[in-house]
Amino acid sequence: MKSNLVLVGFMGAGKSVIGKTLAKMLEMDIVDTDKMIESKMNMKINEIFEKYGEEYFRNIETEIAKDCLNFSNTIISTGGGIVLKEENINYLKQNSVVFLLNASAETIYDRVKNKTDRPLLKVENPLEKIKEMLEFRKKYYEGSADHIITTDNKSIMEVSSEIKKIYITN
Ligand code: S3P
């Protein structure tokens, strides 16, 4: 059995909260690639985007994806754009089963609309932007996933139990 469990998916798909629940259920450690980036840079994601731009952020994200090769028995919750580089997915897949958390644009909008920590959604019409980004990223998300989990209208426990069942029989 591959030792880590990676969660990918769009911002607001529930990766962090599902990751925490799964870590308890499966008695695994948990890391979050955005938090690893923030610790490495000693800066918040927003500040990194503002000061250095997205490309710079993406390069650090790749270094962090590579660092994930050192983990075992760990849930790895990722930033929503990690799937955009094949190199990142190649690192993550080496020792992990990858679960994609899917949600509709409307569900995502509902979950992120009152938050200010998503630099890419600081635009006039966030719902439109989410739709465009989801459309563009669909092939990257689906291409990276070993398993696809739909989260719309499901509770945290339902989604986590579904993932646990697949993971332990893998
Ligand atoms: C991003 C998602 C964010 C964070 C950054 C870029 C993206 O992570 O990595 O703002 O490109 O989708 P979350 O998915 O945890 O919000």
Q: Is 120 in the pocket of ligand 1 (CB under 6 A)?
A: yes
Pocket test for ligand 1, best of 118, 121, 123 (most atoms within 8 A of CB): 118
Q: Are strands 29-32 and 74-77 parallel, antiparallel or unpaired?
A: parallel
CA distance 170 to 74: 15
Report d(CA 26, CA 143) in Å as an integer. Answer: 26
What's residue 1's pLDDT? 58
Whether the pTM exceeds 0.85: the reply is yes
Q: List, for residues 87-111, the tens digit of each pLDDT value.
A: 999 999 999 999 999 999 999 999 9
CB hemisphere CA count around 21 (13 angstroms) = 16
E-strand stretches of the chain: 4-8, 29-32, 74-77, 96-102, 147-150
- Amino acid identity, residue 119? P
Where along the chain do its domains lie?
A: 4-164
- Tell me if residue 89 falls in helix, strand or coil: helix
Whose Cα sits closest to atom 12 in ligand 1?
80
Topology adopted by domain 4-164: Rossmann fold (3.40.50)
State residue 101's pLDDT score. Answer: 98
Q: Whose CA is nearest to atom 16 of ligand 1?
A: 11
Ligand 1 pocket residue status of 134, Cβ below 6 Å = no
Q: What is the pLDDT of residue 170?
A: 79
Which segments of the chain have a pLDDT < 50?
none
pLDDT of residue 9: 98
- Output the pLDDT for position 23: 98
Residue 34 beta carbon below 6 angstroms from any ligand 1 atom: yes
